[in-house]
């Protein structure tokens, strides 16, 4: 991209530049029209991919990321000296608003790396790490994953046990992480390790960027109840990380982890509204196809899904506006995530009422049994990125000002 450009375009000029770029490279979304019984009836929340399909999706995602980055739309808010465009967040949103009209290839493989790991590297990484990874991540050359959870540490993340021991200008890492989404195709990971077991648990942690191809890193897929294996166990045996790859201060890893978690909630809640427009649309058509559009109770529940989706999308817009104004992601992101998962529950309960046995036994009818993937995926969404219960604690304490919950182990 052109990093020597000096004048800043107005938002209008930028949007029209974005439209010309997208117009020249992608088909319009308008061409897609949803007709009941035609095309794919997939409503799954987790992708079920064979390794070949996954490799093809990654390649397509990379090809588009490169095209967008090289045209100056891959890292719109990034600092110019690191390869970004140096524009305010509102320009990023302006780009998304235009891009919604085009069939942009899925970029979900980069979701964790760009949504969570990259902002943390930007906030806490050394200049060496920022220069080595940030532009490459935004250009799709490197994929990142989040190595936080362990068998004994999820909601209570500060209990994690994977250790990092200093050896000169390196650290030696040993331990196990779990539920690591996308580790199977990641190049780097953000890992939080225990660096001082003597300190209180939140204070003895340190964050690093680890090379997922380094000797001693072993990734083993975990199959989930949807049938797919989108996350993994990751084992570390004497893995060496240079001290230059440390994020923040030694024993300052809790602050680093919080940066990532706030961005995670923003990334997940940012979807806004549970049943996104296409799922809601499919839900309405399902109710019609099942001959239930005249049932007053079903209509009422359908209206609840639609209203809550709308309210959640406005809450989300408000959160995005405060981000665009330069504020850090806050507890409103927990609200956004809760709104998303609460509407997923409303959605699958309604589908269950409408479909009955056809939800669990494949009768071969288009647009019916496919919903079982949505049903099986929703519990994972209620856990990933902080469980519903933990989100409620955050909202209770930080938004409503309720007393803090008792915390026995410090
Ligand atoms: C689809 C998916 C993808 C994921 N991807 C990643 C990833 O890429 N990287 C990563 O590091 N992790 C990942 N995770 C892990 C995720 O962050 C953890 O599962 C989550 O933080 C919960 O931790 P846990 O599974 O250990 O459950 P626990 O923390 O053991 O919770 C068990 C139950 O207790 C409840 N509970 C726990 N503490 C409290 C409390 N204080 N108050 C009230 N109730 C409480 C919980 O709500 C839950 O119902 C992923 C998980 C899923 C499902």
Asked if residue 240 and residue 295 are part of one domain, the reply reads no
Residues 276, 244 within the same domain: no
Q: Per the structure block, which two tokens stand in for 14?
A: 């930028």
Q: Is 362 helix (H, G, I), strand (E, B) or coil?
A: coil
Distance 348 CA to ligand 1 centre (A): 21
Give a yes or no: residue 390 inside a domain: yes
Is the residue at 366 inside a domain? yes
180: tokens are 């690591």
The answer to whether residue 343 sits within a structural domain is: yes
CA dist 189 and 110 (Å) reads 12
Residue of the CA atom closest to atom 38 of ligand 1: 155
- The pLDDT assigned to 70 comes to 97
Q: How far is CA 290 from the centre of its chain?
A: 34
Pairing assessment for the beta strands 231-242 and 217-222 based on DSSP bridges: antiparallel
Classify residue 322: in a domain, yes or no: yes
Q: Give distance in angstroms: CA of 240 to centre of ligand 1.
A: 28
| 261 C-beta closer than 6 A to ligand 1 | no
**Residues 182, 228 within the same domain:** yes
Q: CA 78 to CA 41: how far, in whole Å?
A: 38
Q: 3-state DSSP helix/strand/coil percent for the chain, to nearest 5?
A: 50, 15, 35
Tokens of 359: 């939800």
Q: Which residues, including other chains, have CB under 8 Å from residue 358's CB and lie 6 or more apart?
A: 365, 368, 369
CATH number for the domain that contains residue 350: 1.20.140.10
Which pLDDT score, from 0 to 100, does residue 265 have? 63
Q: State which of 197, 224, 251 marks the end of a domain.
A: 251
Q: Within this chain, do residues 200 and 320 fall inside the same structural domain, yes or no?
A: no
Please tell me whether residues 229 and 297 are part of one structural domain: no
CATH of the domain at 201: 2.40.110.10
170 inside domain: yes
Domain boundary at 251, 286, 307, which? 251
- Is residue 279 located within the same domain as residue 381? yes
**pLDDT for residue 277:** 47
Domain that holds residue 277: 270-399
Low-confidence ranges of the chain (pLDDT < 50): 2-4, 270-277, 410
- Beta strand 170-181 with 231-242 is antiparallel
DSSP-assigned states of every residue in 147-189: E--BTTBSSSGGG---EEEEETTEEEEEEEEEEEETGGG-SEE
CA 179 to ligand 1 center in whole angstroms:
9
Instruction: Indicate whether 316 and 391 sit together in one domain.
Output: yes
List helix spans (H) across 356-370.
none
Task: Let me know whether 283 and 379 are in one domain.
Answer: yes
Is there a single domain that holds both residue 290 and residue 208?
Answer: no
Q: Is the Cβ atom of 393 under 6 angstroms away from ligand 1?
A: yes
Q: Is 233 a catalytic residue?
A: no
Q: Is the shortest distance between the CB of 176 and ligand 1 below 6 Å?
A: no
Same structural domain for residues 228 and 278?
no
Beta bridge partners of 166: 171
**Which one is catalytic: 264, 309, 332, 358?**
264
For the record, the structure tokens of 369 come out as 């049994």
Same domain assignment for residues 203 and 315: no
Query: Which residue among 384, 388, 396 has the greatest number of ligand 1 atoms within 8 angstroms of its CB, and so is best to mutate?
Result: 384
Residues 321 and 353 in one domain: yes
* Residues 107, 65 contacting (CB under 8 angstroms): yes
pLDDT at 2: 45
> Last residue of some domain: 251, 278, 296?
251
Q: Is the minimum distance from the CB of 151 to ligand 1 under 6 angstroms?
A: no
Q: In angstroms, rounded to a whole number, what is the distance separating the alpha carbons of residues 344 and 352?
A: 12
Ligand 1 atom closest to Cα of 386? 21
Rg (CA), the chain: 22
- Quote the CA–CA distance of 80 and 74 in Å, as a whole number: 12
Structural domains in the chain (count): 2
Structure letter (DSSP) for residue 108: G
Residue whose Cα lies nearest atom 16 of ligand 1: it is 384
User: Does 197 reside within a domain?
Assistant: yes
In a domain, 238, yes or no: yes
Contacts 24+ apart (CB under 8 A), 6-12: 8/87, 11/90, 11/91, 11/94
Q: In the numeric block, which tokens belong to residue 186?
A: 């990641």
Q: Is residue 1 part of a domain?
A: no
Yes or no: say if 212 and 186 are a contact pair by the CB < 8 Å rule: yes
- Predicted confidence at residue 264, as pLDDT, reads 76
> How far does the centroid of ligand 1 lie from the alpha carbon of residue 64, in Å?
33
Phi-psi region of 367 (alpha: psi -120 to 50; beta: other; left: phi over 0): left
Question: Does any ligand 1 atom lie closer than 6 A to the CB of residue 45?
Answer: no
* CB of residue 154 inside a 6 A radius of ligand 1: yes
Phi-psi category of residue 273: left, alpha or beta, with phi > 0 → left and psi -120 to 50 → alpha: left
* Dist. CA 210–CA 192, nearest whole Å: 10
Contact 107, 61 (CB under 8 A): yes
| Residue whose structure tokens are 């989930």 | 224
From CA 118, how far away is CA 122, in angstroms rounded? Answer: 6
Residue 179 in contact with ligand 1 by CB distance below 6 A: yes
């Amino acid at each position: 991209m052109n990093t020597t450009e000096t004048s800043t375009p107005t938002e209008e000029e930028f949007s029209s530049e974005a439209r010309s770029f997208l117009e020249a490279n992608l088909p319009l979304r308008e061409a897609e029209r949803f007709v009941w019984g035609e095309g794919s009836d997939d409503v799954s929340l987790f992708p079920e991919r064979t390794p070949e399909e996954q490799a093809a999706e990654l390649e397509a995602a990379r090809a588009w990321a490169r095209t967008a980055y090289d045209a100056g739309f891959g890292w719109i808010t990034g600092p110019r000296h690191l390869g970004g465009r140096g524009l305010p967040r509102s320009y990023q949103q302006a780009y998304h608003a235009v891009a919604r009209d085009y069939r942009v290839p899925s970029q979900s493989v980069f979701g964790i790396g760009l949504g969570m790991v990259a902002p943390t590297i930007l906030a806490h990484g050394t200049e060496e790490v920022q220069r080595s990874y940030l532009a490459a991540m935004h250009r799709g050359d490197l994929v990142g994953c989040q190595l936080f959870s362990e068998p004994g540490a999820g909601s209570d993340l500060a209990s994690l046990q994977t250790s990092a021991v200093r050896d000169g200008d390196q650290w030696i890492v040993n331990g196990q992480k779990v539920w690591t989404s996308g580790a199977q195709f990641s190049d780097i990971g953000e890992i939080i390790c225990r660096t001082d077991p003597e300190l209180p648990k939140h204070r003895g942690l340190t964050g690093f960027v680890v090379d997922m191809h380094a000797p001693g890193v072993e990734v083993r897929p975990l199959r989930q109840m949807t049938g797919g294996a989108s996350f993994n166990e990751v084992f570390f045996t004497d893995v060496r990380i240079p001290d230059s790859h440390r994020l923040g201060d030694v024993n300052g890893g809790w602050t680093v982890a919080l940066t990532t978690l706030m961005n995670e909630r923003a990334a997940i809640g940012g979807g806004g509204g549970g049943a996104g427009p296409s799922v809601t649309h499919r839900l309405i058509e399902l109710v019609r196809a099942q001959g239930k559009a005249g049932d007053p109770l079903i209509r009422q529940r359908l209206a609840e899904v639609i209203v809550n989706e709308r309210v959640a999308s406005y809450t989300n817009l408000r959160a995005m506006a405060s981000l665009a104004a330069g504020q850090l992601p806050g507890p409103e992101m927990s609200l956004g995530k809760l709104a998303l998962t609460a509407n997923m529950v409303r959605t699958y309960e309604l589908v269950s009422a409408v479909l009955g046995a056809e939800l669990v036994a494949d009768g071969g009818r288009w647009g019916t049994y496919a919903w079982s993937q949505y049903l099986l995926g929703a519990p994972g969404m209620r856990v990933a990125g902080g469980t519903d219960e933990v989100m409620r604690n955050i909202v209770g304490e930080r938004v409503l000002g309720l007393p803090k919950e008792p915390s026995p182990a410090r």
